Every structure is written in structure tokens, then in C-alpha cells.
Structure 1
Amino acid sequence: MINEQYFEDFPVLETTRLTLRSLVMTDASEIYSIRSNVKAMQYMDTVLHHTIADTEKFVTLNLKTYQKKEGLFWVLIEKNTDQFIGDFSFWKVNRRNSRAEIGYSLHPDFWGKGYMKEAMKTILHFGFTKLKLHSIEANINPDNNNSRKVLKGIGFQKEAYFREHYYYNGEYLDSEIYSLLENDLIR
């Protein structure tokens, strides 16, 4: 059974190098720096943001998702510089089965430095121990080797490969599905 408390009082989390706090509308310009970046969005299979208004709609949608108790969206702030570097979310929260899907992005300037793995370990641990999730799922583009490496390094197991799983930008794309149970999480 999912712990509803965290949909009333957003959980701010800390790692060695990061503060993981709730999304606010003033984060739109930083989110835009990722969502408008071709390199950052290469494997996201979603529309690039062309204006800050696109990102404000995205932020509004995620804030409403939290208000409806359907997801949690953290922004990743580097402690030493107080700089936004990325985001992480639980979404598609399934109360009946105590499941959620994750989504995440990191500005390319911070790739290869272990930030996403650091944030992910902390948030996933929170998801299992505090939010009381039973399983967590990730859906990635099969060409996204960096994402696959992070997921496997934390303990995610590949569950499926779906051919032509969804339609985007004029073509059907494949996807890989990974899942994690609490005992699989590598701390």
C-alpha cells in the first residue's frame, strides 16, 4: 500500500553532492535548458521544447500530477554551486499494485560524473522504504546505452523488449522495459 503522506508533504532528499527538491514554476528556465537541448533529448522520444512556454506547460502538467497524487517530480541541485543539473520523477503511480515508472534527465554538462546514479539510488531507496512501492519500472529507448548502464548498475533487470512499441515523429519505435524490486537495489 502506497504511503500517501508524501503526496501532502513533498520529500526533500539529500545525497553527498545533491539536494533533491520539489519542482516549482521558477525552474522552467532550467528545465528548458534540457528539454530544448537536442543532445540531452536524443533518446527521450518526445517533442523538443521550442519556447519557454512549452516548458511552462510541462512544469504545470507535472505540478498537477503531484496535486492529483499521481507522481512526484524532483529537481537535482548541485550543492556546491546551487545549480540545477537535472530532474527525476515517479509517474504512472499504480496504487493497486504499488508500482511506479521513473523518468529522468540530466544536462549534458553533467554527464559521466555519477550524478544520476547518486540521485537515483537515493530516490529509489525512498520509493521502497518510505513511499512503500513494491516495484519500479523504467522504459528506455534501446539505443540509450548510458541510461541502460545506469539502470543495470543500480540493479534493474531487463523485463522486455517491445518492437515498434509506440509511434513518435512519423515512425514506430522499439522500447526496453526494466524493473527493480527492493531486494535488487544495489546501494
Structure 2
Amino acid sequence: MIKQMPFVETDRLYLRGLEEEDVCDIYAYLSMEETREFLDLEQQQNIDQTWNLLYEEYLPYIEKSLFQCWVMEQKQSGKVIGHLRLYEEQQCLFVEMLLHPAYWKQGYMKEALMKMLQHVYTFLKHQNVYVKVRKENKNCIFLLESLGFQYITCVKEMLSNGKMYNMWIERLSEKEWRKQNEKNT
């Protein structure tokens, strides 16, 4: 399976593979408390820490047999404002997503997710996509359900801070995606 994500353009975004030069923009949103509020992600204290995270977790996707991280570059500013990443867990395909808080509630994540889902169902031929989301993250749940994702179950997970959290698992099947896609076009 090809794990490299293609370059894709939307009305307001370029969706492309992560590059080393993106580290400053990514540090800008990973260092913010609001970005990590619902994620299992350590606060980035400096650019070197962010560089290490990208180098260890995202950049060597081929060597680790991971999916390439897709950054969301805003056309207008040329800045990376977020990223999306596919990952496999227990033979299921999950999506991870992060967006700079300055761009929340403006439709950027929905715009990017719609393109990623198109890629997953058209080219990767997966039947389902899953997302883990903390049940308190109402904005993310609203976004997912507006795209056709459906609640499957709630699981308790211990995150790196040692605390247990209720994580909702939402799923979008290819069939439901096609139905939603027809409504949106």
C-alpha cells in the first residue's frame, strides 16, 4: 500500500506532505495549551522539541511503515495551520487531526477532512475510518457527525499524563461517506 499522501488543493488550503521547513509553524500551534487540551500530546517547550517529535513520529513514515502526515497550508498566508495523519491501530484506520486555535470554527478542518476521506475511500480503498475523540470535545464531535461519522463506543484510556479519559470512537463507513458526499455536492 502506498503510504505517501498526494498533494491536494482545496478552496483555501494546500494539503501536502510534511516537510522539515514546517517545524516553526507546527511549533506555533503545538506550543499552545488550547491545541493540546483534548490530546495526548506533551507541551512543546521549544522548536528543538517539536523538531524531535516530527523527526521521530512523522517524518520517517516510510521506514516506520506509517502514513505520511498531511499538513494544512493556508493559501492566503502560506502558513501551516494544522495537520492530519492516518494511523493504523488494531487493524483499523484512524485519523488524527490538529488545527491552530486561531482557525477554529472557520471550516478549515472540515475542508481538509473531506479531501482526506475522499483519498481514503477512492484510492486507499478502506471500508471504514475511525476517530478517537475525548467526549468533552463537543466541537470536534459536532464536526465529525456533520461529515457522517457515527458514535460507536466509549473506551477508557490512560493518557501520557497518567489520567484516565473517556474516549469516544466515531466511525464513518465508505457507504455513509458516499451518501454524505452526494448531499454536499
Aligned to 1:140: 133
Paired residues of 1:24 and 1:59 also in contact (CA < 8 A): no
Which residue identity is paired with 2:87? W
Deviation of 1:119 after TM superposition, in Å, equals: 0.4
Listed as ranges, the gaps of 5+ residues in structure 2 are none
Which residue identity is paired with 2:125? K
Paired residues of 1:19 and 1:79 also in contact (CA < 8 A): yes
Runs of 4+ aligned structure 1 residues displaced above 4 Å come to: none
Paired residues of 1:65 and 1:71 also in contact (CA < 8 A): yes
Pairing 1:37-116 to 2, within 5 Å after superposition: 37-60=32-55, 61-92=57-88, 99-116=92-109
Paired residues of 1:102 and 1:138 also in contact (CA < 8 A): yes
Deviation of 1:65 after TM superposition, in Å, equals: 2.6
Which residue identity is paired with 2:69? F
Which residue of 166, 169, 176 corresponds with 1:177?
Answer: 169
1:76 and 1:167, CA in 2 relative to 1: closer, same or farther beyond 3 A? Answer: closer
Aligned to 1:20: 15
Paired residues of 1:165 and 1:175 also in contact (CA < 8 A): yes
How many residue pairs are counted as aligned between the two chains?
178
- Once superposed, what is the RMSD of the aligned Cα atoms? 1.6
Q: TM-score scaled by structure 2?
A: 0.89
Q: TM-score scaled by structure 1?
A: 0.88
Listed as ranges, the gaps of 5+ residues in structure 1 are none
Which residue identity is paired with 1:145? K
1:165 and 1:10, CA in 2 relative to 1: closer, same or farther beyond 3 A? Answer: closer
| 140-149 or 75-84, larger mean C-alpha shift | 75-84
| 149-158 or 85-94, larger mean C-alpha shift | 85-94
